[in-house]
Amino acid sequence: MYIAAPSILSADFSKLLEEVKDVSTAKFLHIDVMDGHFVPNITIGPLIVKSIKGKVDMVFDCHLMISDPKKYTESFAKSGADIITFHYEALNSKEEILDLIDYIHSFKIHAGISIKPNTSVDVLDEEILSKVDLVLVMSVEPGFGGQKFMENSLPKIKKLRELKDKFKYNYIIEVDGGINKETAVLVKKAGVEAIVAGTYVFKSQNRKETIKELEKDF
Ligand code: DX5
Ligand code: ZN
């Protein structure tokens, strides 16, 4: 059984709560936060997260595509984020990375780290992998929904799965971008555990069936 994480980036924001309730059979709600600086797009802030918190029984999986994740950690944590995932590329040193993981944990929530398509999985070393609760492999360039899946995510997922099995790490392996019926099978075969899907879920005829499709074995 896989974790489905519908991404509200593809929802109709004029009726956001209705849209969120409609996908609430999924375990995770993926919330894409963009600052117009780390990525060209601007999306959701903590106020929106707060407005839907408590209205559905889902894990709030906040994906921070922002240049200064530490600055906004507290407000997202207090607004209801259950997982805060920041980007490896947004930070300047390993010290900053380890410090941010601890800082996120200080709010009694989970910490995730994400890598963009051009970042090697090898930048995530033992020290990082043993501390994080989630590793998010981007299978598109972060910034927009509806892009084409990039296959270079597959060996990264495989590697993370091998390392997890070998060293008994606790992180959840998540993938994000370009997921559809076919690419979902590819990431499952590679060893993913949580699957983010925006367009595929929100634009489908039957969202609940699409969520089930994501959750089931290949
Ligand atoms: C892209 C976001 C994704 C996006 C995925 O930067 O991180 O979560 O919503 O959208 P799809 O599933 O349409 O590729
Ligand atoms: Zn995302």
CATH number of the domain that residue 65 is part of: 3.20.20.70
- Confidence at residue 92, expressed as pLDDT on a 0 to 100 scale: 97
Which residue range(s) make up the domain with 82? 3-215
Q: Which residues contact 99 (CB under 8 A, 6 or more apart)?
A: 70
Report H helices in 111-197.
126-129, 153-167, 181-190
**Alpha carbons 133 and 77: distance in angstroms, whole number:** 15
Can you list the residues of the chain whose pLDDT is less than 50? none
DSSP string, 55-122: TS--EEEEEEESS-HHHHHHHHHHHT-SEEEEEGGG-S-HHHHHHHHHHHHTTTSEEEEEE-TTS-GG
Nearest CA to ligand 1 atom 10: 145
- Confidence at residue 101, expressed as pLDDT on a 0 to 100 scale: 99
Q: In the annotation, is 32 catalytic?
A: yes
- Confidence at residue 46, expressed as pLDDT on a 0 to 100 scale: 98
Between strands 83-87 and 59-65, the pairing is parallel
CA distances, 82 to each of 66, 131, 141 (Å)? 18, 16, 24
- Two structure tokens written together for 81: 């984020």
If one counts the domains in the chain, the total is 1
Chain position carrying tokens 């074995």: 217
Q: Is 47 in contact with 40 (CB distance < 8 Å)?
A: no
Phi, psi at 194, each rounded to 5°: -125, 135
Given the residues 35, 61, 133, 176, select the one marked as catalytic. Answer: 176
Measured at the CA of 82, the angle between CA 80 and CA 84, to 5 degrees, comes to 100
Mutate to test the pocket of ligand 1, among 8, 10, 39, 64 (most ligand atoms within 8 A of CB): 10
What pTM was estimated for this model as a whole?
0.98
- Confidence at residue 190, expressed as pLDDT on a 0 to 100 scale: 98
